[in-house]
Amino acid sequence: MANLPPFHLHWDVLVILGTIGLAYWWLQARIRPRLQPTPPAPTVRQWAVFYCGLSLLLLTSMWPLHDLAEQSLYSVHMVNHMVLTLFAPPLLILGFNRSMADFLLGRPRILTWLRPLAQPVVGFAIFNFGLIATHWPEAVALSLRNEVAHFGIHSFLFLSGLLMWMPVTSPASVLPRIAPPMQLLYLFLNSILPIVPAGFLTFSEIPLYPAYGDASLAFGLEPVADQTIAGLIMKIGGTMLFWVVMAFIWFKWASEEKRWDRIEEELRASL
């Protein structure tokens, strides 16, 4: 059985994520109190959610997961991509309340280009195109051999994840969430399309990623078995996340509808 890759720090990751974490703290603790009128402070839950998303990015972008993903195991590579696109982005978005989200996103220079990109149809297209394109064997090979391409692909995946989640999780009034029924349809469609590349990975009988060679053998996995696991992670993990979020939206929507029905009945009874 292979040993883990030699330990080393990824200083670029520490600088980028450290800067994001410090910027969030500075925005909330130093900039927000100076605004007039002063927006409400983020709740403890919002602080925790934001830094949880940042911690997931740190965990999968540092030793040993990052090294395993780029050198040995495509299944770990898939976990990395799932965090970049599906798990970390909504947590970072939900770390902001409405006032601070409007402060950041409501600036004309930002809103002008962000509003069309964050529309459901556009966000859906960018996210799913990127999901399929970045799992193409040539794209994976380029990512493994070229650091600039690797950074660019991962940045694109992360940004596409932010755009995809905005119609469902946006706290900003300048970019409002779509209605609950549309959220359910939107998430359902997003859960369907990734089944295509996941199916190729799961059921292929030949290695699809020659760039990895036989590196997985050192961990007791045939290359085909490694990519099968990657396909299952993509299919089951992604689908489960979307359906859990859909269930939450459904029950919250049903609860709100019942509450409004009760209010309407009470108003009628008081007349």
Place of tokens 């495509």: 74
Could you tell me the residue range of the domain that residue 206 belongs to?
Answer: 11-270
Based on the structure, what is the number of domains in the chain?
Answer: 1
pLDDT of res. 194: 84
* Domain presence at residue 89: yes
Residue 4 lies in a domain: no
pLDDT band at 223; cut points 50, 70, 90: very high
pTM: 0.93
Residue 150 is assigned to a structural domain of this protein = yes
- Is 45 inside any structural domain? yes
Confidence at 195, pLDDT banded by 50, 70, 90:
confident
Whether residue 1 lies inside any domain: the answer is no
Based on the number of CB atoms within 10 Å of its own CB, is 248 exposed (0-12), middle (13-18) or buried (19 or more)? Answer: exposed
Q: Has residue 5 been placed in a domain? A: no
pLDDT class of 78 with cuts at 50, 70, 90: very high
- Evaluate whether residue 236 is within a structural domain: yes
What is the arithmetic mean of pLDDT over 169-185?
A: 96
pLDDT over 60 at 117, yes or no: yes
pLDDT at res. 2: 62
Query: Within a domain: residue 131?
Result: yes
